Amino acid sequence: MPTLDICFSPDLLPLYDLRGRIAVVVDILRATSSIVTALAQGVAHLVPVETLAECRALAADNYLTAAERDGVQAEGVDLGNSPFGYLDGAVPVQGRNVAITTTNGTRAMHLSRAADEVVVGAFLNLGAVADFLRQQGRDVIVVCAGWKGHFCLEDTLFGGALAALLAPDFDVTSSDATLAALDLWEKASPDVAAYLLKSAHVRRLNRLEAHKDMEFCVRQDEYNLVPVWREGKIVKL
Amino acid sequence: MPTLDICFSPDLLPLYDLRGRIAVVVDILRATSSIVTALAQGVAHLVPVETLAECRALAADNYLTAAERDGVQAEGVDLGNSPFGYLDGAVPVQGRNVAITTTNGTRAMHLSRAADEVVVGAFLNLGAVADFLRQQGRDVIVVCAGWKGHFCLEDTLFGGALAALLAPDFDVTSSDATLAALDLWEKASPDVAAYLLKSAHVRRLNRLEAHKDMEFCVRQDEYNLVPVWREGKIVKL
């Protein structure tokens, strides 16, 4: 039976052998939610880069640039880290490519490179990711982007929600991290937004940008697509 | 208001500035439970060492040696990692000094050295630790020993139990880790042993040694003492 483990921080990834596994990278607030939204809105592909300089450099290749640092849009780029940047029409995104860098999300992706496949997960595409993983039947590790290496509730809840969907066909009991995430999900699932209002990260986001981002990012199955990171590009499967 | 944060793995300690904080190191199964028990049974002091070689070397200075690797007693030492080693009388411990090394616990202690004070916490002395911290009124970080760097339920539950005792005089809501631990503790507290039976670590321990260790290690307030690590020695405060 394939296993589902959860890594609570990119800083703990050295403990895991990613080979042979599918890594589901999750940064609910907001990188992976935005990536899913971008592809749903017709973005052709995204390139996750680690630095602002790399991000800006890709503008020369006709990329839209999306960058956030410490929760706010970086200077001189087209988009921030809000999924609404791909929805509000202020910047037309259909058919465009996007270079994206965020505080936590892109770092988590780059550190997950050793996995057989890197999938982008969010509540927005939770069901689609679960279906894909079930189809693949391989060991899964959910890589929580966290906040600057720290444990985050919202990414953990995604891990719990995914484990709940994949049990009992996946082993979700051999990892204490997965067991904890399942219990937290059980507690939070009746009203995820209300639960997350107490989280440190959400309160940080509240200060920095509208609360509506969070409410959007916890919607489940808004989009039926699975983004994968292949040959440097995040594309719809 | 002083804060209470929880570090889920020694591998995440580089994220924290320990200066000015009290570190409560916890390895419920079983290092810190055994240390608390040892001091309660009249051990004069313990020296946590990182390697088996250092541990054995201290035998020449009339130390009792306690060592465990991967859950079982190491070769050629006096004691393993079970608190019952200090209780069953097979090895008289009253007035003795003990050199101790374990898979996770002593490593967590050594990595916590930068803190203003390193306190040894366990369910067995939960109330005493809480009283001490309340008295001190300084920022607290609970350092979970985990299992080879991985998140562990039992150490997290201790963090949640401590946070529940110290709220509302300590800020227990600014850290997602503390919030998660509180929720897990709320779920587990009616029957901690039953809750932990599902944990990966406990099942590992079950295979390796008697289940009775776990049941003992989750008893609360069995001992009213606070071990601190000062000048290389763990002593009763």
- What pLDDT band is residue A198 in, cutting at 50, 70 and 90? confident
The top-scoring range by mean pLDDT among A198-207, B45-54, B65-74 is B45-54
Structure confidence at residue A208 (pLDDT): 57
Instruction: Write down the domain spans for chain A.
Output: 4-236
Contact state of B200 with A12 under an 8 Å Cβ cutoff = no
CB contact under 8 A, B153 and A175: no
Find the mean pLDDT for residues A47-56: 93
Residue A209 predicted with pLDDT over 70: no
The pLDDT assigned to B68 comes to 86
Tokens linked to B80: 């393993």
Cα angle: B50, vertex B56, B58; to 5 degrees: 90
Look at A62-71, A135-144, B127-136, B160-169 and tell me which has the smallest mean pLDDT.
A62-71
* Between A73 and B33, the higher pLDDT residue: B33
Task: Choose the weakest-confidence range: A76-85, B67-76, B78-87.
Answer: B67-76
The C-alpha atoms of residue B84 and residue B80 are separated, in whole angstroms, by: 9
Please report the pLDDT score of residue B69 as a whole number.
80
Q: Tell me the nearest-neighbour CA distance from A130 into chain B, angstroms.
A: 24
Alpha helices in chain B (DSSP H): 31-40, 52-57, 105-111, 126-136, 153-166, 176-188, 192-196, 200-208, 212-217
The pLDDT score that the predictor gives to residue A210 is: 59
What is the secondary structure of A190-237 as a DSSP string?
GGHHHHHTTSHHHHHHHHHS-THHHHHHT-SSS----EEEETTEEEE-
Residue B225 pLDDT class (50, 70, 90 cuts) = very high
Interface of A with B (CB under 8 A): 8-9, 11-12, 14-15, 147-153, 156, 173-177, 179-180, 183-184, 187, 198-201
Nearest CA in chain A to B15: A149
Beta bridge partners of A228: A119, A235
Across A215-224, average pLDDT: 97
Sign of the alpha-carbon torsion through B103, B106, B107, B112: positive
Q: Is A16 left (phi over 0), alpha (psi -120 to 50) or beta?
A: beta
**Cα separation of B201 and B151, whole Å?**
10
Average pLDDT, chain B: 94
**CA angle (B158, B162, B167) in 5-degree steps:** 150
User: In the Cβ-directed half-sphere of A129, how many Cα atoms lie within 13 Å?
Assistant: 34
Please judge whether A179 and B200 are an interchain contact, meaning their C-beta atoms are less than 8 angstroms apart. Answer: yes
Residue A168: asked if its preceding bond is cis (omega within 30°), the reply is: yes
Contacts of A72 (CB under 8 A, 6+ apart): A80, A208, A209
Q: Which residues pair with A67 in a beta bridge?
A: A101
Alpha-carbon distance A83 to nearest alpha carbon in chain B (angstroms): 23
Given a cut of 70, whether residue A92 has pLDDT beyond it is yes
Pick from B8, B176, B199: CB nearest A200: B176
Classify B229 as helix, strand or coil. Answer: strand
Distance from CA of B160 to the nearest CA of A (A): 13
- State yes or no: pLDDT of A233 exceeds 90: yes
What homologous superfamily does CATH list for B4-230? ComB-like (3.90.1560.10)
**Residue A12 phi, psi dihedral angles, 5° rounding:** -95, 0
Q: Which residue has the tokens 């991000």?
A: A55
pLDDT tops 80 at residue A206:
no
Q: How many CB atoms lie within 10 A of CB B162?
A: 29
Q: Under an 8 A CB cutoff, do B176 and A148 touch?
A: no
Per-residue confidence (pLDDT) for residue B207, from 0 to 100: 62
Q: What percent of chain A has pLDDT over 70?
A: 96
pLDDT category at B34 given cuts 50, 70, 90 is very high
pLDDT at A120 over 60: yes
Which CATH number, 3.90.1560.10, 3.30.70.260, 3.30.465.10, 2.60.120.1440, labels domain A4-236?
3.90.1560.10
List, for residues B164-218, the tens digit of each pLDDT value: 999 999 999 999 999 999 999 999 999 999 999 888 767 766 565 557 889 999 9
Q: Are A186 and A50 in contact (CB under 8 A)?
A: no
Residues in B touching A149 (Cβ below 8 Å): 12, 15
Give the residue-averaged pLDDT of B87-107: 93
